[in-house]
Structure 1
């Protein structure tokens, strides 16, 4: 099954924005070079044990790392949703619409308190923990967990099926997004020095071989 998924990973490349995909807005310019080339910069090692991992090792959820008085979750919702409404007097997002969810291609309505939208860590925190983050200091882990490069708003059910999977074990059902998704994983792992397994690197190459012009997203 995995081989079939990876074989279908090719997609057309286009200009990438801050979310690392064609046709999205709200980010900086693409970093220099292609994602396929950048895969060569990633260190290959075996997966370490998950021992000691807890979400709290990456800080409390959604801190205000950029000091704009808004938590990271609301920053990402504001960036990725359309028709956004806010709570009176602050930046808390109350409602909005996720148009063309990157993982499924569907449109998903966001309503605070009963939302079907998650903010996903493209490189899961648990995956990072097993591939280098266990040895980081707390400041670096908090930065990783709140880096907009590693965060996108997505359909909650698809995100929960992903779990802490890497490129070798999970790809978005929306095939049109796979190139951008893998490019973003490459960018995040390269930026923070998170290593990859041999199977993961091979899977990244197989996907990006189908869209070799896909650039690293801005912020990498």
Structure 2
């Protein structure tokens, strides 16, 4: 399936986040299955230094729909992006019969943001306990370059597995559209991997950073 091929590419990117001199992040930089990795601080700093630094543009005109339908099946593997990410990030997952292992109905998340173990069960009152976070929020991207993108690029950004992570729902709501200057995961052991991955996403899509955001990212990397 094309998405699985994409995840191989993501795994290669994660290898780029691992190496000597890094801080063990406990949970992998890809947030996947609770695997362990180390953040390559030098690589993250080099990418951060190349990001454009300027002020945040007005939020005027932002609309979720401008990034395409929510959780579109962009890789055409028969599963929407939300289910693809749940399948990637949960363990012991179970699927709705007849969906070709597509619709995830339950599983266990080792939440990278809090360190909690969360049992996921699909349902009207329970699905929101695990949400899919855009590490670089769509609104943040809109104010830092995405207004000028094509609709195709915005849709790709919104559904890129590099920018998506299954996390604790309430913490995702708390984060909202914050950047690194105003919100970081409460679990300090994950902050290096979190910031490094935000930098990867911003570098990939040429999303700029504010000076406060750059300084916050630099401080986190300095503690790794």
Q: 1:18 to 1:64 in 2, by over 3 A?
A: farther
Shift of 1:89: 1.5
Matched, 1:84 2:93: yes
Partner of 1:126: 139
Secondary structure of 1:165's aligned partner: coil
Distance 1:21 1:86 in 2: 18
**Counterparts of 1:23 and 1:130, CA distance in 2:** 32
The corresponding residue for 1:53 is: 62
The gaps in structure 2 that reach 5 residues or longer are 1-21
Runs of 4 or more, structure 1, over 6 Å off, are none
User: Of the candidates 118, 140, 143, which is equivalent to residue 108 of structure 1?
Assistant: 118
Alignment of 1:48-197 (within 5 A): 48-90=57-99, 91-99=102-110, 101-113=111-123, 114-115=126-127, 116-197=129-210
Structure 1 position 204, deviation (Å): 0.6
Tell me the TM-score normalised to structure 2 length.
Answer: 0.82
Task: Give the CA deviation at 1:55.
Answer: 0.6
Q: 1: CA distance between counterparts of 2:151 and 2:33?
A: 34
Total equivalences in the alignment: 196
Instruction: Tell me if the contact between 1:14 and 1:22 (Cα under 8 Å) persists in the aligned partners.
Output: no
CA spacing shift, 1:97–1:118, aligned 2, 3 Å: same
Residue pair 2:54, 2:210 contacting (<8 A) in 1 also: yes
1:17 and 1:23 in contact (8 A); partners too: yes
The offset of 1:16, in angstroms, is 8.4
Where in structure 1 are there 5+ consecutive unaligned residues? Answer: 1-10, 212-220
Retained in 2: the 8 A contact 1:20–1:180?
no
What RMSD in Å do the two structures reach over aligned CA positions?
2.3
TM-score (norm 1): 0.83
Post-superposition Cα deviations, 1:4-63, rounded to whole Å, max 9, x if no partner, equal xxxxxxx824698560689528xxxx99x6112210111001000000001101011111
Whole-angstrom CA distance in 2 between matches of 1:16 and 1:37:
23
The structure showing larger relative contact order (alpha-carbon pairs under 8 Å, at least 6 residues apart) is 1
